[in-house]
Amino acid sequence: MAQKSKEKSTRLTGRIVIPGNPSYNTARMEYNRRFSKFPRIIVFCQRTQDVINAVKWARERGIRLRVRSGRHSYEGFSAVNGGIIIDVSEMNKVKVDRKNRVAIVQTGNPLARVYKKLWHKRVAIPAGTAPDVGVAGLTLGGGVGLLSRKYGLTCDNLKQVKMVVASGRYGARTIVADRKKHSDLLWASRGGGGGNFGVATEYTFRVRTISSVSIYSITWKWSDLEKVLPAWQRWAPSVTNRLTSTIEVAAKQVGTIVSTGQLLGGAEELRRLIRPLLRAATPVKVMVKTVPFIDATKFFAESDLNLEPKFKITGAYGFQPLPPEGVRIIRDFLSKAPNRHASVWSQSLGGAGSAVSRVSPTATAYPHRKAETIYELSARWRNNREQKQNIQWVKRFRRALRPFVKGDYVNFPDLQIKNWPKAYYGVNFGRLKQVKRKYDPHNVFRFAQSIPVGKQVRK
């Protein structure tokens, strides 16, 4: 009896939200409204001790837990029915040490806040585009964005992570992982995916000085797909690594193809660099300008605003340009998209001198170093009755395109991927399991596609 009461001695601290509280409904919601889960408790942690208490509390009671920051998981992995959500979004300090070129960023920060705080000191980290994506999940899975080809993935710039891990039978403790101590956990935190090992509370990033950049946007007619997409795919990985670019082919009913990009350099140089794209087909609209870096982050954030609330997305990597058959598949699927909110998006990652490709596939847990591009096939909708058709469309599209692409980004998770350990982690899965066994032997941090402790993988 005494033992039992001791086991349940920890009290929750932080801002606690439970069913019945006026804020429960907003507190429980994921960004992807396809999911609507009902946790028993949500703890908004303000201090590391709140996180430690929450992990202990859950373990003492055998209650399932999930870790949450920006809530942007595609498959709702940061929510749970009947369990506790440990939310770090109120831990959002940022400290820049410009002299030593590092920033200490608490993991509750959304990207827009990180960019803004760093911009005040005229420094930046390479990170993603959506303003409200959490730096926590983004970094642990990799982190691709418009500075990737020059400065690498977000995780490549992670020097240190503070993490609350499970300890003993019911406990929790903070550890600091860097190159010297717990270097295996730092390795795993650089692409091993969120929610697998513990609760990251603080990151130390290497930062780069930044001032102005040049950006472009080119719009073509949808009917130019066969000219524009292959031209972009040849050009994007071969151009200077100071230029990272994207292309988005919308559903046919929208009628456009848009490419955007960012150059660490001037507008005149950018105008010259994009010539092969402008020659591919006659554009409907072209914009090239030099702007302060912070304005560029806002420009790229626009494409992630005002989207339909429910979505299904699947990803892929391109290791060479698509053959005509691959482009035809994209044309076919986007001609018959379930609605106007479907699209194919791609971003350049590798190629000529790219910082992403320079790193060996085993140097960090993120293995897709040799990919030239990354893709997203997405469908979005509002009403539940549209759901089945949209999900089926993404599933069939994925299957059709697979012969021409490989692997998957763990930050674009898809529950329909059968062999997800290989797709996300490739050669690094074995080592990730070892790290899991060392830091979370009781499998406290688990969800549908978490790294397993033993041999069993949920498929």
Instruction: Please give the residue ranges that form the binding site for ligand FAD (CB under 6 A).
Output: 31, 66-74, 77-78, 88, 107, 128-130, 133-134, 136-138, 140-145, 194-195, 199-200, 304, 411
User: Least distance (Å) from ligand FAD to the CB of residue 85?
Assistant: 9
Shortest distance in whole angstroms from residue 66 CB to ligand FAD: 5
Other C-beta atoms closer than 10 Å to the C-beta of 272 total 10
- Rounded CA separation 322/232 (Å): 11
Q: Which is nearer to ligand FAD, 30 or 251 (CB)?
A: 30
CB of 323 to ligand FAD, least distance (A): 27
CA atoms within 13 A on the CB side of 49: 4
The continuous run of DSSP H or E covering 6 comes out as helix 2-7
Closer to ligand FAD at the Cβ: 17 or 138? 138
Q: Least separation, in Å, of the C-beta of 34 and ligand FAD?
A: 11
What is the closest distance, in whole angstroms, from the C-beta atom of residue 96 to ligand FAD in the complex? 20
Handedness of CA 248, 249, 251, 252 (dihedral sign): positive
By C-beta, is 73 or 92 nearer to ligand FAD? Answer: 73
Give least dist CB 403 to ligand FAD, A: 25
Tokens representing residue 60 in the block: 């003492």
CB nearer to ligand FAD: pick between 31 and 397: 31
Distance CA 397, CA 392 (A): 8
> Would you say how long the chain is, in residues?
459
User: Please, what is the minimum distance in Å from the beta carbon of residue 137 to ligand FAD?
Assistant: 2
288: Cβ–Cβ under 8 A, 6 or more apart, which residues?
214, 215, 216, 267, 270, 271, 274
Smallest gap from residue 153 Cβ to ligand FAD (A): 8
**Nearest-approach distance from CB 363 to ligand FAD, in angstroms:** 18
* 144 vs 213 by CB, closer to ligand FAD: 144
Q: How many DSSP H helices and E strands does the chain contain? A: 16, 18
Q: Which is nearer to ligand FAD, 91 or 277 (CB)?
A: 91
| Residue keyed to tokens 């870790």 | 67
The secondary structure of 299-338 as a DSSP string is HHHGGGSS--SEEEEEEEEESSPPPHHHHHHHHHHHHT-S
Q: Which is nearer to ligand FAD, 107 or 233 (CB)?
A: 107
Distance CA 63, CA 10 (A): 13
E-assigned strand segments in 168-242: 171-177, 199-206, 208-209, 212-221
CB of 73 to ligand FAD, least distance (A): 3
Whichever of 199 and 257 has its CB closer to ligand FAD, that residue is: 199
Contact 260, 244 (CB under 8 A): no
Q: CA end-to-end span of the chain, whole Å? A: 40
- Least Å distance, CB 200 to ligand FAD, is 4
- The tokens for 32 are 């992807």
Of 72 and 281, CB closest to ligand FAD: 72
Residue with tokens 């941090």: 445
- Distance in angstroms (rounded) separating the CA atoms of residues 40 and 43: 10
- Tell me the C-alpha distance between 20 and 353, whole Å: 55
DSSP assignment letter at 406: B
- Nearer to ligand FAD by C-beta: 77 or 170? 77
Token pair for 368: 């897709």
Residue 176 sits at the vertex; the CA angle it makes with 175 and 178, to the nearest 5 degrees, is 145
| Nearer to ligand FAD (CB atom), residue 86 or residue 337 | 86
